[in-house]
Amino acid sequence: GNLGDVVLGYDTIAEYVNGSSYFGALVGRVANRVAKARFVLDGKVYHLYANDGKNALHGGHRGFSKVIWTVKEYVSGGDSPHITLYYHSFDGEQGFPGALDVYVTYELSSPYVLSVRMNATALDKATPVNLAQHTYWNLGGQGSGDVLGNTVQLFASQYTPVDATLIPTGQLAPVAGTPYDLRAPTAVREHLRQVVGGSSNGSTIYGYDINYVVDGDARALRKVAAVRDGASGRALELWADQPGVQFYTGNFLQDVKGKGGRVYGQYGALCLETQGFPDAVNHPDFPSQIVRPGQAAYKHDMVFKFSF
């Protein structure tokens, strides 16, 4: 009977506007990193806003998580309360080509199931699209401490290794025999100190921040991950229809003031961001993220199933 808020966040709009952690963010036009903030599409070079060193991250300086969305539909009661958000992204926004219409619906499809449905239509030019949901989960309750004792299972036999700036090398590597092998339920802390998740002021930051290649049909809704918090007994299952999932363990959280006066420290939550592969626009062998006018729209569905 103990209800808990299991999502990190802020108390005010201003904190979301100014925050740099992407709490709960709806990320786009292209989630994750684009190397050197540039790509070539149909013979033309496009330059993006570099906001992660020399790379573009999560759509640029003012990505979809920093814009005002329009509420198209809102149903607060009934069996499946939901809200549908709409955003029109203009041609050239943050350097991306073409206008784009985006719809995202969040729905409580049953008392313990949250579904998120994302759709995007290219209106006049071909463009890359890779939308993601950047929720920070702490099943013990937001601000209750770290998630190192959580067990995580990822239904992924491969991952995309990265260079020092977290850009994929282009290879798909097996997780077997590496600290990235989470095919069986594994405590987050078990291999954490063997995984480099970045650096800060010259010192190494440990933790996961890597894209996994989800097993199965890359465009079918299938089980991606399972997380369990032993202390509270809460569990989360994630299903989605994307080729990859970014597993991030809150490596860079440091004394962030959150909801209700709670303070979030390092490893205070984990993210499971289903997505296309990072920097796919610069890797022809990766699943394509290009959406073209008059052709199939971009689609990304995910289902979060909670249990106790």
Residue 105 has pLDDT above 90, yes or no: yes
- pLDDT recorded at residue 1: 79
Residue 273 annotated among the catalytic residues of the structure: yes
Q: Where are the domains of the chain?
A: 13-307
Residue 180 has pLDDT above 90, yes or no: yes
By the 8 A CB rule, do 240 and 301 touch?
yes
- Predicted TM-score (pTM) of the model is 0.97
- pLDDT recorded at residue 144: 97
- Assign domain 13-307 one CATH number from 2.70.98.10, 3.20.20.30, 2.40.30.200, 3.40.50.300: 2.70.98.10
Residue 88 has pLDDT above 90, yes or no: yes
> Using 50, 70 and 90 to split pLDDT, how confident is the model at 2?
confident
Q: Which two tokens stand for residue 110?
A: 């049953």
Q: What distance in Å separates the CA atoms of residue 111 and residue 181, rounded to the nearest whole number?
A: 32
Instruction: Catalytic residue, from 58, 134, 283, 300: name it.
Output: 134
For residue 98, the one-letter residue type is: G
Q: Which two tokens stand for residue 131?
A: 């939308």
Residue 269 has pLDDT above 90, yes or no: yes
Residue 292 has pLDDT above 90, yes or no: yes
What proportion of the chain, given as a percentage, has pLDDT over 70? 100
The mean per-residue pLDDT over the stretch 198-207 comes to 88
The mean per-residue pLDDT over the stretch 234-239 comes to 98
- pLDDT recorded at residue 198: 83
> Using 50, 70 and 90 to split pLDDT, how confident is the model at 272?
very high
> Using 50, 70 and 90 to split pLDDT, how confident is the model at 209?
very high
By the 8 A CB rule, do 125 and 100 touch?
no
Residue 305 has pLDDT above 90, yes or no: yes
pLDDT tens readout for residues 4-45:
999 999 999 999 999 999 999 999 999 999 999 999 999 999
DSSP state of 35: G
Nearest to 136 by CA among 276, 300, 5: 5
Mean pLDDT rounded to a whole number for the chain: 97
- pLDDT recorded at residue 26: 97
DSSP states along 39-56: EEETTEEEE----BTTBE
Residue 82 has pLDDT above 90, yes or no: yes
**148 three-state secondary structure:** coil
DSSP states along 7-27: B---SSHHHHHH-SS-TTEEE
Is 16 labelled as part of a ligand binding site? Answer: no
Is 169 labelled as part of a ligand binding site? Answer: no
Total Cβ atoms within 10 A of residue 243: 23
Nearest to 257 by CA among 6, 11, 24, 7: 11
The mean per-residue pLDDT over the stretch 159-185 comes to 97
Residue 112 has pLDDT above 90, yes or no: yes
> Using 50, 70 and 90 to split pLDDT, how confident is the model at 201?
confident
- pLDDT recorded at residue 75: 98
- pLDDT recorded at residue 148: 98
Q: What distance in Å separates the CA atoms of residue 75 and residue 77, rounded to the nearest whole number?
A: 6
Residue partners of 299: CB distance under 8 A and separation at least 6: 117, 118, 119, 241
Nearest to 89 by CA among 100, 74, 78, 104: 100
Is 136 labelled as part of a ligand binding site? Answer: yes
pLDDT tens readout for residues 41-74:
999 999 999 999 999 999 999 999 999 999 999 9
- pLDDT recorded at residue 199: 83
By the 8 A CB rule, do 251 and 206 touch?
yes
Residue 283 annotated among the catalytic residues of the structure: no
Nearest to 248 by CA among 62, 8, 39: 8
- pLDDT recorded at residue 66: 96
By the 8 A CB rule, do 286 and 219 touch?
no
Instruction: Catalytic residue, from 15, 82, 237, 273: name it.
Output: 273
CA distances (Å), origin 19, targets 54, 123, 145, 214: 21, 31, 20, 30
Top-confidence residue, 199 or 215: 215
* Burial of 237 from C-beta contacts in 10 A (0-12 / 13-18 / 19+): middle
What proportion of the chain, given as a percentage, has pLDDT over 90? 96
Is 79 labelled as part of a ligand binding site? Answer: no
Is 181 labelled as part of a ligand binding site? Answer: no
Q: What distance in Å separates the CA atoms of residue 238 and residue 304, rounded to the nearest whole number?
A: 5
Is 58 labelled as part of a ligand binding site? Answer: no
